Amino acid sequence: MDENNDMPAEESASPAQETVPNLKALREAGGLSLPDIFETTRVSLIYLAAVESGEFNRLPPPVYARDFIRKYARTVGIDEKPIIDRYEKYQESLKPTVRETEIRKPWPETGGRNRFLFASLAAVIIAGALVSALFLYDQAGKPASSPPVTGSPSPAPVISEPASTAAVPASPGAAFQSPAAAGKMYELVIEAREWTWIRITADRNPAYEALLKPGDKIERTASDYFQLDIGNAGGIHLTFQGKPLGSPGKSGQVIHMRLPEKAADRKNP
């Protein structure tokens, strides 16, 4: 058979169908069977039949398939190049699918990157909103005219007070004359020795609440008076107008007191 005359038919037909009679005829002309080739090459009969019929899709990966084709051709005594060429064309026909897969692969990565950016942006917005809310809450809980508190006491929930308020000892504020007429200010210093909840109202300003820990110190000024609500009277030490007053009560005692004391509440000596 003239191979040159068969080339147009090969282009119009699949390589597998055109090569089947040629290889089989050449093998049989040499008096060989597929088991004979197996005994020589130790290549599986399934793969030998696939090479002979041109069913390259039944062959193993290319590195093994090419070796099987060479062994078949050498055992039969024919040129291996035409068969190898047909196999390479078959491999080329598979490449467009591989390239399409490689082109589409980055899309999931891009989508994941966009989702990560959106999630990060949302987290930043939420964090900013929380910081703003905490800042506004902190500002709302402090008097505008109050100086900074030494030790930065943390705000605490209001402590439930007993129905009957403990009697407040005679306030040393009776010994002080009101400085408002002289244009002076009352000065109050509170030093914590134990954990103590306290609420301070200076004049008619908003009340300030804090949970003091040992070592914390608060300094306040007022033009008229201080109203104190103390959850642990024995846990703090007071200094009013530069004079130490000591603890206003016992440990664990809840008291309410005013500095300076009203004239009506002062006790005669």
Q: Residue 190: phi, psi to the nearest 5? A: -120, 125
Let me know whether 176 and 261 are in one domain.
Answer: yes
Let me know whether 180 and 89 are in one domain.
Answer: no
Residue 132 lies in a domain: no
Residue 161 lies in a domain: no
Q: Indicate the angle between helix axes 3-12 and 15-29, nearest 10 degrees.
A: 140
Pairwise CA distance, residues 258 & 134, whole Å: 32
Query: Can you give the pTM of this predicted structure?
Result: 0.33
Stronger pLDDT, 152 or 75, i.e. the higher one: 75
Residue 130 lies in a domain: no
Q: What confidence score (pLDDT) does residue 105 get? A: 53
Q: What is the mean pLDDT of residues 94-120?
A: 64
Q: Residue 68 — very low, low, confident or very high, per pLDDT cuts 50/70/90?
A: very high
> How many domains does one find in the chain?
2
Q: Look at residues 104, 131, 148 and tell me which one is the last residue of a structural domain.
A: 104
Torsion sign across C-alpha atoms 168, 174, 176, 177:
positive
Q: What confidence score (pLDDT) does residue 247 get? A: 93
Residue 127 lies in a domain: no
CATH code, domain with 55: 1.10.260.40
Give CA separation, 58 vs 24, 181, 226, in Å. 17, 110, 97
Residue 113 lies in a domain: no
Residue 115 lies in a domain: no
Stronger pLDDT, 101 or 30, i.e. the higher one: 30
Judging by DSSP bridges, how do beta strands 226-230 and 255-259 pair with one another? Answer: antiparallel
Q: Which domain holds residue 21?
A: 3-104
Q: Residue 123 — very low, low, confident or very high, per pLDDT cuts 50/70/90?
A: confident
Let me know whether 100 and 177 are in one domain.
Answer: no
